């Protein structure tokens, strides 16, 4: 079946068609800043969070990979994680539908893993947790950037 034979799916169709097959970690690291001693206070560290998104789509497979870098004066934590989905049928995905799926579904499925990994890594390295804030649906929006619609065999960063 080719892209010309199938119309792009709606968000509702995409959600119904895709099954979460796997959650994979590609990187989980926490590096202590050598020049900065670990604070002895129980005050939460001020953190900067940088989000990156990569997508993969090949006929019946779809992947959302998030790379989150959390930086504080004491350390830098990187969590690189992916949600892997499969469908029983070939899906043609338009960029705006993919954006809705990433922000409304995949992000909400991956965020608990990201939050827990940041908390665990910071606790082990710093001796105290860095807790990412809890986001309500739609409060955090990841931009996919400009580019073509997602189609067979394409990856987007």
Residues 77-127: pLDDT tens digits? Answer: 999 999 999 999 988 888 899 999 999 999 999 999 999 999 999 999 999
Query: Which strands sit side by side in the sheet containing 48-58, from one edge to the other?
Result: 19-32, 75-86, 61-71, 48-58, 154-156
Rg of the chain over all Cα atoms, to the nearest angstrom = 18
| pLDDT band at 143; cut points 50, 70, 90 | confident
Residues 39-90: pLDDT tens digits? Answer: 555 565 688 999 999 999 988 999 999 999 999 999 999 999 999 999 999 8
Count of C-beta atoms within a 10 Å radius of residue 79: 24
Half-sphere exposure of 14 (CA within 13 A, CB side): 25
Q: CB-based contacts of 112: which residues, under 8 Å, 6+ apart?
A: none
Cα(10)–Cα(154) distance, rounded to whole angstroms?
A: 19
Alpha-helix residue ranges (DSSP H) falling in the chain: 11-17, 95-101, 107-126
By the 10 Å C-beta count (0-12 exposed, 13-18 middle, 19+ buried), 84 is classed as middle
Handedness of CA 152, 145, 29, 108 (dihedral sign): negative
The pairing of beta strand 154-156 with beta strand 48-58:
antiparallel
What pLDDT score does 38 carry?
A: 55
Burial 133-142 (b: 16+ CB within 10 A, else e): eeeeeeeeee
Per-residue pLDDT for 37 more than 70? Answer: no
Model confidence, pTM: 0.82
């Amino acid at each position: 079946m080719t892209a010309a034979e199938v119309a792009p799916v709606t968000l509702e169709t995409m959600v119904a068609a895709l099954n979460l097959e796997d959650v994979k970690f590609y990187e989980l690291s926490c590096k202590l800043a050598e020049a900065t001693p670990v604070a002895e206070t129980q005050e939460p560290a001020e953190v900067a969070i940088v989000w990156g998104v990569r997508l993969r789509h090949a006929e019946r497979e779809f992947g959302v990979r998030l790379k989150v870098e959390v930086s504080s004066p004491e350390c830098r934590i990187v969590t690189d994680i992916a949600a892997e989905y499969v469908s029983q049928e070939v899906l043609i995905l338009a960029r705006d539908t993919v954006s809705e799926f990433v922000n409304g579904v995949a992000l909400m499925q991956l965020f608990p893993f990201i939050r827990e990994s940041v908390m665990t890594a910071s606790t082990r390295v710093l001796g105290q947790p860095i807790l990412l804030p809890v986001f309500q649906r739609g409060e955090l929006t990841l931009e996919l950037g400009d580019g073509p619609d997602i189609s067979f065999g394409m990856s987007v960063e």
